[in-house]
A and B are shown apart, each in its own frame.
Chain A
């Protein structure tokens, strides 16, 4: 069947099988920042933004996303122009193996788009759907809170998308 996804602001007609997950289609299209983890919605490494809201793409059929806007990490920053959240993750060292990092960035972005001044509890709640397999959550939380402190940067980030 044929669907259209708007991925990182680019309209992409795609032919899919009815049983393909959104995760499967995104990786097939080489959006490989979207990671393949548990396949049952528990670990969160497959997170993407759907119409700006964070969702787990492994438990959603691609067909359910027909006509909607999908955002992956490829769409929020580039190697030369990092998103402020990406820059903060680098600066703080909020990365070990990196497998959960794209999902953490998207979960954090969804939070800040909705609430530019979250409390630490709200940051922890927002990241809690993404499981880190290496070290933990202290540094990612610190990185997000650093961005919150630089409010000017956050405003730039939300306008750049």
Chain B
């Protein structure tokens, strides 16, 4: 029982949903799948606006982009024909990680990104896929996932709804992979990484890297990415890259790992993800 909750609304238009969210009182928040929100039962929340009636569950190619409705559930990313094999299955794999089927059937793409977390695999994958979020408030704006994750509160207030996630269709000559280090296979990762590499004639023509566990949300590593362009990804370059990654970050310590260990592992997972992505393309 979520005792403080006095109102439940299920509007059928985004406009009506925004109107309900903008009320000064009762304190109202959007409800996507609810697997995080209902689990937390925040006593300060007095009303929810269920986004399930807004027709935001879709996966739709448009031109060179793929449009993913924010209410698309994670299982649809795992099994959907448009997302299953996207970027060597990167998105589908990220949607599966540490999320059992019963939660994947309900948890949504938009809700997962709004809830966030340091090692959120879905955010990692979407960062290297260069995702952009379409957010509706009084106006409609499009922001990069990177910008959104670094300042979530600003983009979600006042009264905003993530309606869509948009990805450029990855070309065919790219590799993409996830890597993680954790205490047990099902435990939350100490550090994890995603890599996306364009490879032609044995040379890297651009890479995107994202790292989890080292900040409140996963981060992109633009300076490290720049080291890789124009080179073959051989062992000595990867070793230098791992060192550069470790010095570029300032990870936290917690019960799973010390800051030093996490720093070391950040280099390790980045190299593993990159090497796997690189080897996918010949």
Binding partners A and B = yes
**Which residues from chain A sit less than 8 Å from chain B, CB to CB?**
1, 17-21, 24, 39-41, 44, 47, 50, 53-56, 58-61, 63-64, 66, 107, 110, 125-126, 128-129
CA distance A63 to B50 in the complex (A): 9
B33 to chain A, nearest CB (A): 8
Residues of B within 8 A of A128 (CB): 100-101, 186
Beta-carbon contacts under 8 Å, B1-25 to A: 1-8, 10
Inter-subunit contact A18/B100 (CB<8 Å): no
Residues of A within 8 A of B40 (CB): 40
CB-defined A-B contacts under 8 Å, sample of 6: A21-B1, A24-B1, A40-B39, A55-B106, A56-B102, A63-B10
A10 to chain B, nearest CB (A): 23
State whether the Cβ of B216 lies closer than 8 Å to any Cβ in chain A: no
Residues of A within 8 A of B103 (CB): 41, 56, 59, 129
Inter-subunit contact B101/A64 (CB<8 Å): no
State whether the Cβ of B243 lies closer than 8 Å to any Cβ in chain A: no
The answer to whether residues A21 and B106 also contact, given A56-B35, A63-B8, A125-B101 and a CB cut-off of 8 A, is: no
The answer to whether residues A19 and B106 also contact, given A39-B39, A129-B100 and a CB cut-off of 8 A, is: no
Residues of A within 8 A of B34 (CB): 59-61, 64
Which listed residue (B4, B38, B41, B101) contacts A60, Cβ 8 A?
A: B38
State whether the Cβ of B52 lies closer than 8 Å to any Cβ in chain A: yes
Which listed residue (A18, A56, A58) contacts B8, Cβ 8 A?
A: A18
The answer to whether residues A47 and B4 also contact, given A59-B35, A61-B38, A64-B52 and a CB cut-off of 8 A, is: no
Inter-subunit contact A19/B4 (CB<8 Å): yes
Instruction: Look across to chain A and name the residue whose beta carbon is closest to the beta carbon of B104.
Output: A129
Q: How many A-B residue pairs have CB under 8 A?
A: 86
A131 to chain B, nearest CB (A): 10
State whether the Cβ of B145 lies closer than 8 Å to any Cβ in chain A: no
CA distance A64 to B34 in the complex (A): 9
Per-residue CB proximity of B182-225 to A under 8 Å, as 1/0? 00001000000000000000000000000000000000000000
The answer to whether residues A19 and B35 also contact, given A56-B102, A64-B50 and a CB cut-off of 8 A, is: no
Interface residues on B, range: 20 to 34
B40 to chain A, nearest CB (A): 8
CA distance A6 to B102 in the complex (A): 19
Residues of A within 8 A of B35 (CB): 41, 56, 59-60
CA distance A54 to B1 in the complex (A): 21
CA distance A37 to B253 in the complex (A): 30
State whether the Cβ of B105 lies closer than 8 Å to any Cβ in chain A: yes
Residues of B within 8 A of A24 (CB): 1
Residues of A within 8 A of B105 (CB): 50, 53-55
Residues of A within 8 A of B94 (CB): none
B47 to chain A, nearest CB (A): 8
CA distance A40 to B186 in the complex (A): 17
A54 to chain B, nearest CB (A): 5
Residues of A within 8 A of B75 (CB): 53
Residues of B within 8 A of A17 (CB): 1, 5
Which listed residue (A40, A55, A61) contacts B102, Cβ 8 A?
A: A55
A70 to chain B, nearest CB (A): 13
Residues of B within 8 A of A63 (CB): 8, 10, 50
Beta-carbon contacts under 8 Å, B49-65 to A: 50, 52
Q: Known contacts A20-B2, A128-B186; can you find 11 more A-B pairs with CB under 8 A?
A: A18-B47, A19-B2, A20-B1, A47-B102, A55-B105, A56-B102, A59-B34, A59-B36, A61-B2, A61-B50, A110-B101
State whether the Cβ of B48 lies closer than 8 Å to any Cβ in chain A: yes
CA distance A55 to B4 in the complex (A): 24
The answer to whether residues A44 and B100 also contact, given A18-B8, A19-B3 and a CB cut-off of 8 A, is: yes
A127 to chain B, nearest CB (A): 9
Instruction: Look across to chain A and name the residue whose beta carbon is closest to the beta carbon of B75.
Output: A53
A81 to chain B, nearest CB (A): 26
The answer to whether residues A18 and B6 also contact, given A55-B106, A59-B38, A59-B39 and a CB cut-off of 8 A, is: yes
Greatest chain B CB density within 10 A among A1, A54, A66 is at A54
CA distance A39 to B41 in the complex (A): 10
